[in-house]
Amino acid sequence: MVDQRYVGVMLSVAASVAIGTSSVITKMGLTATAASASAQGKSATDGFAYLQNPIWWGGTLTLAVGEAANFAAYTFAPPVMITPLGALSVIIGAILASFILNEKLGHLGRVGCALCLLGTTIIVLHAPADQDIKTITQFLDFALEPGFMLYSFTAAVFSLYMIFIAAPRYGRTNPLVYLSVASVVGGVSIMFIKGFGVALKLTFEGSNQFVYPSTYLFAFISLVCIVVQLNYANKALDTFSVNLVNPLYYVGFCTATIVSSLILFKGFNTTSPGNTVSLLCGFIVTFLGVHILNVALLDGAVEAGVEAGQGVRRSYGRLGGAQEEGLVRTPLFAAYLEEEQEEHEGVRMHRVNGSGSAREDIRLSPASRAL
């Protein structure tokens, strides 16, 4: 009989293909919506305008298929094994974006993809077995431990702060604002999705878990968290490039899920210290692969903008008016509105010559930019 962990792996791989594809389709829908909304001085996410775009719905439905497969994967395998496999969705998204959205991948990007595959292979080979849970009340006991309760409370306070205080001021200048909300809320939601998935699995095996109120509680919390997660992931995609959002979102979401799982289940539950070290090495290699892929994609976007003479796409910033050299805003802090720029002490920028080869970091203050 096939080990249930590998059933989870196969479901996770299928989910990654669907999710990576959906990010590109969703970006296409958001871009089309933004084009029509910009005439009114709005973005695609203002008033949920993207809900009227059929391309966005196509991406969302593809995402739903992927998340359904991911949901099933969490039922068969532990979160510390399934979540890092999301790196495959980053690879799929990057490859498709290079063909469909004309975002360059390059040699360094291919190296990043290879490292992601190596890291996920290490994780699969050394991941622990899933917790042996017989009833949903047993899972509830894990969730009601003081450590996980404190972590959930901290995540809720952090998310509320980012939503109501940080997002209005910095949401359109720093993708980490939106993505931190989506990642932290998503990390907590995975634990409750895991609980609800276990309830469904036990029910199908003949032990009805829907007689317990905790099953419905897990389902409700999961639904709320998914709605919040999807909303802020869409905000990040609307404002920044898919090749910037995907890697950052992967690292943030993966880290939050691993931390949540460590706290909930009180450790990795590996069979030996060697497996624990190998698992950690797999995480590190995967994170490095995602980082290298991110750097490659951003450099490709800057070079493409310089070569075209049209400036980098809105998601990355824009070039200055000089013919021989321009100023490219650092993608992580790309500001679009002058009044928002004036609120900051300065804007970090790269100086790029006409060929796009030589760069030096500089920092412009609001006063110097006015000269």
Q: 78, 128 in Cβ contact below 8 A?
A: yes
Query: Residue 18: which of 67, 58, 72 has the closest Cα?
Result: 67
Burial of 42 (0-12, 13-18, 19+ CB in 10 A): middle
Q: What is the pLDDT of residue 199?
A: 92
Q: 159, 227 in Cβ contact below 8 A?
A: no
Q: What is the pLDDT of residue 44?
A: 61
Burial of 336 (0-12, 13-18, 19+ CB in 10 A): middle
d(CA 186, CA 130): 20
Each residue's pLDDT tens digit in the chain (371 positions)?
567 888 888 999 999 999 889 989 988 888 888 877 776 666 665 666 778 889 989 998 998 899 889 888 988 888 888 888 888 887 898 888 888 887 777 888 889 889 988 998 898 888 777 777 788 899 999 999 999 999 999 999 999 999 999 999 999 888 899 999 999 999 999 999 989 988 998 999 888 999 999 999 999 999 999 999 989 998 998 888 766 787 788 888 988 988 998 899 887 777 788 888 998 899 899 888 888 887 777 676 666 655 555 444 443 433 333 333 333 333 343 333 333 333 444 444 443 343 344 444 444 444 444 44
Q: What is the pLDDT of residue 258?
A: 87
d(CA 76, CA 66): 16
